[in-house]
Amino acid sequence: MDRDKKGYTLRAKAGFVVYALCCLIIFIYIQFPYDMLKDRLERTLSSALSSHVTLGHMHSHLPLGLAADGLKINTSEVAKKIVFHPRLARLFTAELGLDISAELLSG
């Protein structure tokens, strides 16, 4: 009878909170509208390459990446998939850095 009145322990309540926060972070990461970042990345790549760059559909790439389905430079398709990974060490120096890897059409 005492067990029914007691409820959940502090450890169980903390576990529920941690689980809810983890679920929130994962669902936000998966459902984020990545296509909003597409224009910014296209402008940045266009200025870096001095050519017109077009990216395909943007989506998440786990664990901490952003992927685009296709890369066109001056209307010729160059890559099937391009992945952007943030450089986390540069965030401590207030700079943004990205590592870019691509799956090229030529292999």
- Band (1; pLDDT cuts 50, 70, 90): very low
Q: Which is it for the CA torsion 40, 44, 50, 55, positive or negative?
A: negative
- What's this model's pTM, rounded to 2 decimal places? 0.67
- Helix, coil or strand: residue 17: helix
**Confidence at residue 19, expressed as pLDDT on a 0 to 100 scale:** 97
The answer for residues whose C-beta is within 8 angstroms of residue 38's C-beta and 6 or more apart is: 55, 58, 68
